[in-house]
Chains A and B, each alone.
Chain A
Amino acid sequence: MSLSIGGVPYEVVMGIECHVELKTATKMFCGCRNVFGAEPNTNVCPVCLGLPGALPVPNRLAIELVVKAGLAFGAEIPAFSKFDRKNYFYPDMPKDYQISQFDTPLTQGGVVPFRLDDGTEGSCRLTRIHLEEDTGKSSHAGSRDGRIAGSTHSLVDFNRAGVPLMECVSEPDIRTAAEAVAYLETLKRTFVALGVSDVKMEEGSLRCDVNLSLRPVGATEYGTKTEIKNMNSFRSVARAIESEIARQAGILAAGGRIVQETRGWDEAAGDTHPMRSKEQAHDYRYFPDPDLTPIEFAPTEVTRMRESLGVLPHARLERFIARDGLSVVQAQQLADNHALAVFYEAAAERSGKPQATVNFLLGDLSRLANETGTPVASSGFSPDALAELVALTDSGTINSKTAKDLIERVWRDGGSPREIVAAEGLGQVSDSSAIDALVHEILAANEKTVADFRAGKTKVMGFLVGQVMKQSRGKANPQVAEERLRAVLEGAEPASQVRG
């Protein structure tokens, strides 16, 4: 990222705020189900509708999930925390205040490590993670594009109202779009692995806002920032960042000034448009919610939660690279799929051959997973079966064709590859005396080809090997077969035996 404006080198400064819907069975302050995609206004009750007289009761699990999310990045867990009310009027907010946390977030600090695709290591500090309730969802009817401008009326679905939402705020440590995506990938892997969230941007369970400004390299003050919203995939996060860098750089190059504002990303147009400027900022009149008692953690509780974290995805990723010698891309692919990473670790440990294991896992098994829509861990394959498959191919016991057939079969029906090979004699024939018999049979039946070979047309070797393979019903080791054919044809063996 070498950005130069008027000959002066500039750098990009970004911080990211992520809203992550927690994966709890019930909502934050009531017993309604927390599910995506239900009929509008079916998962609602007096509490999440904010009816007169209804009161919130906190979901303890949601609080624990946020604490675990923070602990995963080494955050500090203050002994005292509380909920505050953020007051503002909006039709999809049932109480016209949102229960959130103002000055006592559940977690403070922490560092999010990441790896770029090219292997570069990086990190971004976390400022805080706090817990709040989600709002309902408005949709605007009567306008051409679904936007509020020009609409005739609006509809509100309160199923989402009261869903637990954690907000992760980063420090302004991010410098490139690639870093932003890598940061988000670590968050996603970690939250999925810990069961904190599904982290599905397309369903809105992850929403992120990027604060972005430019400044001359070496400057200590920040430039005027804009906030970019409405990205619905990691790819659009990267595109929106690139677009906004270009827009701000263009303004600065022309001698203009950046206006502090919120800008919405338009996926189709590939650029951002202004949403609201800072002048319309609210005074949210935060104050402690008197309906809720403070949240206090005993040190032993925090220790228990820290110990329950297990191996975290980023640690796994680093281990795949350092210990197993996997490529960064392979390691990321595994780390992106928690179940697959766990499967890989078990299989690689048993096979002792990490590279061969990952080749099968990210190759044939991932292909089958895509084709069938069944995750690897739910297929007929167990880590033990994969380890056996690796051992069978690595030792040359089966050839690649048999391996492919075997994979399809175990995927579908389960079972032990080793036992199947033994019981059905699928083992590859590498014994040269057994192959010699086939070699002689094929040579005898293809006199013209033999003559061609001897006349210098060595390309016919492929045909002859194919014939041996066919005669062995695929079990012959092709390398041994070629070796033996060549030995006979090049005269290392007596020709008489050919006819013999």
Chain B
Amino acid sequence: MNLDATAVAIAAAVNARDVSAVEVATAMHARIAERDGAVGAYLATTGELALAHAQLVDARVKAGERLPLAGVPLALKDNMCVAGTPTTCASKILAGWVAPYTATAVQRLLDAGALPLGKTNLDEFAMGSSCENSALGKTANPWDLGRVPGGSSGGSVAAVAAGEATVALGSDTGGSIREPAAFCGVVGFKPTYGRVSRYGLIAFASSLDQIGPIAHTVEDAALVYELMAGRDPMDATTVDRPVEAVSNALREDLAGVRIGIVREFGLGELEPAVRDVYERAYADLERLGAELVEVALPTADFGIATYYLIAPAECSSNLARFDGMRYGLRVEAADVGATYEATRAAGFGDEVKRRILIGTYALSSGYYDAYYVRAQKARTLIAADFAKAFSACDAIACPAAASPAFAFDAKTDPVSMYLMDYYTIPMSLAGLPSLSVPCGYVTPPGAAGPLPLGLELSGPLFAERALLGFAHAYERATRHAELQSIPALPGPVGAR
């Protein structure tokens, strides 16, 4: 059995009863035990749950059902609720909390035959771009264990990159799927806001959060996406429009496709080696038949400032419920008010506190119009810029991040970390579908070996089908993911 096979291949093998889901689950957990000591992708593995699901899948397949994700090993970012499993958001304030219900998106994948392997690490409450803000674990980049996997979905991305899961779910608020996918050389896809239910996803910023797939191939990502997308009666912000079949209709070329290159995202400021990779990527798009057109996003430069008002404002309210009264950590103090303060002081990390403070300030009486309202206006302008750009092109190409993965503790200033999401935040503010696909490698000084880079492709609202098609054509023509592989990982501590 090839544990590195795609989800499509594993499901076909399980459906054909060439291999059982139980065998897949067992082998994959053995691999996690062997590799995750070095990578640290998982906060918790759910071996028994995966086995129980595997038995169910085998029984259903035996009964004649064909399941689109039969026996496919799935890793879940630990901000998604799975009934009966600890769900922590990598925060001390939720450590030990066991979710009593399952997120809609997760449930849809389990119903399709996926095996829940475990819960992966993240920046606390999905706030961060390196996974270093986790209060509960450290995740390394499988390409270079001295470097970060990116964030906030660092654990899910590292799990897929290290072969410790076939596919994974992440959540993307301002780039939290795309940036780590670029850092770890896998495909990471954020669907249009409203496509995938957020029910059971612990909120960071409700108007931006979106669950998306992480996979080795565009086809696998498309398959997972189409299985979990669509209206959910439990989430009022999901849209009621049909989800087109994507995974079986992916194109092989870009003939007649107009790809927008953003004037304001010039490659001039990038490291020369990085710039070369992106210039080659643009040339490859053209070689595949695409017409490259320059488009303008004059307001995109305000993306980070806008995002760091709206997202903290929403999080300041979303995270109020973690107060020690009903669940999670409680630090008892003299009275209710003091207990709130002691609990939240002990339970939240610095970055979470920073954002709660920024958001509380932005929403305060007297500052609301100057900050929150203006940020919403800027958001509207950014969305309008994209709409105008898409009148001249079918998708926009740009770097997913300005650099490859950086070393641990390299970015101590919060603003330098915020800048990591420069290329991903504008699309999040506009609600657009956007993905990162591997596009090449660089070997900066001090790196253990080549580090992957990601090309970000973004499309108009609800244009997932076209967007995934373009990415598939690029992936198939360039095969970057197949050109390099992660270095051998050290085995478990006990085996060394």
Contact = CB atoms under 8 A, between A and B. Distances in A.
Interface of A: 46, 49-58, 85, 87, 89, 91, 94-97, 283, 285-287, 290-293
B237 A53 contact: no
B200 A287 contact: no
B100 A46 contact: yes
Interface stretch (B150-158, B174-182, B358-366): B358-366
Given A85-B317, A290-B207, A55 B363 contact: no
Contact of A95 (B236, B314, B320): B320
A391 B289 CA distance: 94
Interface string B229-251: 00001111100000000000000
Could you say which of B87, B205, B236, B360 has the most chain A C-beta atoms within 10 Å of its C-beta?
A: B236
A49 B202 CA distance: 14
B369 to A, nearest CB: 11
Contact of B235 (A50, A52, A57): A57
Interface string B304-318: 000000000110110
A290 B206 contact: yes
B353 to A, nearest CB: 16
B206 A287 contact: no
Interface in B95-132: 97, 99-101, 103
Given A94-B326, A287-B363, A53 B203 contact: yes
Contacts of B94: 52
Contacts of B429: none
A117 B103 CA distance: 58
B50 interface: no
Interface string B241-283: 0000000000000000000000000000000000000000000
A340 to B, nearest CB: 41
A55 B100 contact: no
Interface of B: 79-81, 87, 89, 94, 97, 99-101, 103, 198-203, 205-207, 233-237, 313-314, 316-317, 320-323, 325-327, 336-337, 340, 360, 363-365, 368, 372
Contacts of B321: 50, 52, 94-96
B235 A55 contact: yes
A53 B199 contact: yes
A96 B319 CA distance: 9
B336 A91 contact: yes
A97 B326 contact: no
B364 A283 contact: yes
Contact of A285 (B198, B205, B237, B365): B365
Interface core residue of B79, B320, B337 (most chain A CB under 10 Å)? B320
User: Closest 3 A-B residue pairs measured CB to CB?
Assistant: A96-B320, A290-B207, A290-B206
B236 A291 contact: yes
Most chain-B CB neighbours within 10 Å: which of A50, A58, A290?
A290
Nearest to A148: B336
A51 B100 contact: yes
Contacts of B203: 52-53, 291
B87 A52 contact: yes
B199 A287 contact: no
Contacts of B323: 89, 91, 96
B320 A52 contact: no
A202 B415 CA distance: 56
Nearest to A291: B206
B360 A285 contact: yes
A472 B103 CA distance: 82
A97 B363 CA distance: 13
For A49, A52, A290, which residue has the most chain B Cβ atoms within 10 angstroms?
A52
Contacts of A290: 205-207, 237, 314
24 contacts: A49-B326, A50-B321, A52-B327, A53-B198, A53-B202, A53-B203, A54-B101, A55-B199, A55-B236, A56-B236, A57-B235, A89-B320, A89-B337, A94-B326, A95-B320, A96-B321, A97-B317, A283-B365, A285-B368, A286-B363, A287-B313, A290-B207, A291-B206, A292-B236
B237 A291 contact: yes
A49 B101 CA distance: 13
B76 to A, nearest CB: 12
Nearest to B372: A287
B234 A55 contact: yes
Contacts of A97: 317, 320
Given A52-B94, A87-B316, A285-B360, 12 more contacts: A46-B100, A52-B203, A52-B327, A53-B199, A55-B198, A55-B236, A85-B317, A89-B323, A89-B340, A95-B320, A96-B323, A283-B365
A283 B365 CA distance: 6
Contacts of B336: 91
Given A46-B100, A52-B87, A87 B363 contact: yes
B320 A53 contact: no
Contacts of B97: 52
Contacts of B372: 287
Contacts of B314: 290
Contacts of B236: 55-58, 291-293
Contacts of A46: 100-101
A85 B203 CA distance: 15
A229 B234 CA distance: 36
Contacts of A50: 321, 326
B89 to A, nearest CB: 7
A87 B372 CA distance: 15
A171 B364 CA distance: 27
Contact of A53 (B200, B313, B326): B200
B99 A53 contact: yes
Contacts of B198: 53, 55
A23 B336 CA distance: 33
Contacts of B199: 53-55
Contacts of B89: 52
Contacts of A91: 323, 325, 336
Given A52-B321, A94-B321, A57 B234 contact: yes
A138 to B, nearest CB: 10
B372 to A, nearest CB: 6
A292 B198 CA distance: 12
Contacts of A58: 236
Contacts of B233: 57
Nearest to B201: A53
